[in-house]
A = this chain, B = another copy of it.
Amino acid sequence: MRFTSLTTKTVKDSSQADVSRNAQLLLRGGYVDKLMAGVYTYLPLGCRVLSKIENIVREEMNKVGGQEVLMPALQPREIWDTTERWDKVDVLFKLMGAGDRELALGPTHEEVVTPTIGKFIQSYRDLPKAVYQIQTKFRNEPRAKSGLLRGREFRMKDLYSFHVDQASLDAFYEEVTAAYHEIYRRCGIGDITLLTYAGGGIFSKYSHEFQTITEYGEDTIYRIPGTDTAVNKEIVDDEGAMADLIPNYKKGDEKNLEELKAIEVGNIFKLGTRFTSAFGIEYADEAGAKQPVLMGCYGLGPSRVMGTIAEVLSDDKGLVWPDEVAPYHVHLVSLCRDEADIDRCENLYNTLCEKGVEVLYDDRAGVQAGAKLADADLIGIPRRVVVSPKTLKEDSVEFKPRSDDQAVITPIETFISVLMEKD
């Protein structure tokens, strides 16, 4: 993509200023535009990042056997009455449809998925089942000041699983836990994202959150010493749970735990029969007797993950995208002025495109080197490649990974072949 063809430009003025770091950077880089608090447009660069995150999520959900569906945002009041949540979910957007029908905009989809998939469950042979969607969700948040981290409208992957018994649910829950770790690893935040014990319910002792450590986080978690896991606030105050999770726990030990600020980037929950019993979803066992269906639900917000990456992996100069989610893999900066040099730079761009490398090419004429390099830092594509009269004299480019300070002069041919090995 040529800079001169890209729909957006970097934004210098602060008219779109946002209080959160992730939104500031994404707005300035031309990744998103803010329509109102908690409601953003994903511009071409942002749409590419979001799609790449969603595709990683999709691939990992397919690997655990999830089958993709797409459920409606518009939901009739009746199904929320069935689960007695119409008045309990305080962020529920409510509206009136034609024929004076009361509707909600889905902040979650247990009320839709349970009766819908329940239609296809008759016998134990029909289980287990797992369906997921990647879809837009709505929450009427009173405050929405955290950019993509807490939206009124946001993207969500929600997976729901259906099981004959606890053992089947437990086994699938472990598989999804592993898939989540893989998703965060591929999104570049694996080593700073901790599996975090949270409160359970009637059907399981604990649920789990995935918390990404950052000083800007809204949540507080406590790392269990010597592990990659943590507990959240409600667990740290629960003596029984702590004794359960920490070897040789003594009362007061929780005061010595490392306290960390973090952003919740996913949560998984064993729902048991909470929703299947409300909708009367049962299966016939081998003896033909009716049995309750157990459910699990597994949430992960691609737009929140995008905001988290922007928040935690950025530096003073701008965004720093991990390879798998970067909008482009190479940021090619031309500092050429005379025609012969420009031609050589164009040739390099065309060669990379032909080889299938995703390149953002700063082909702007009349823009100073300093401004181009500042834009490259702000936009945060993993590999910056500068082509100038000086480098061309040596048949070379100046190559710098976004996360490094040091640029190296590399022969063009070497650069291309190394790049092809990587991609």
Contact = CB atoms under 8 A, between A and B. Distances in A.
A255 to B, nearest CB: 38
Contacts of A205: none
Interface string A27-55: 00010010110011111101110110000
Interface in A115-149: 116-117, 119-120, 125, 129, 131, 135-136, 138, 140-142, 144
A67 B152 contact: no
Interface in A53-105: 65, 67-76, 93-95, 97-99, 101, 105
Nearest to A303: B70
Interface string A298-342: 000000000000000000000000000000000000000000000
B129 A7 contact: yes
A6 interface: yes
B72 A44 contact: no
Contact of A70 (B41, B75, B99, B142): B41
A36 B98 CA distance: 12
Contacts of A138: 73-74
B116 A33 contact: yes
Interface in A154-204: none
A9 interface: yes
A153 interface: yes
B69 A47 contact: yes
Nearest to A40: B72
Nearest to A76: B36
Nearest to A119: B33
B129 A71 contact: no
A112 interface: yes
A69 B43 contact: yes
A41 B69 contact: yes
A8 interface: yes
A126 to B, nearest CB: 8
B97 A95 contact: no
Given A41-B72, A135-B136, 8 more contacts: A6-B67, A7-B120, A11-B119, A35-B71, A35-B75, A46-B69, A74-B138, A98-B140
A-B pairs, top 4 by smallest CB distance, nearest first, are: A95-B95, A42-B70, A44-B67, A39-B72
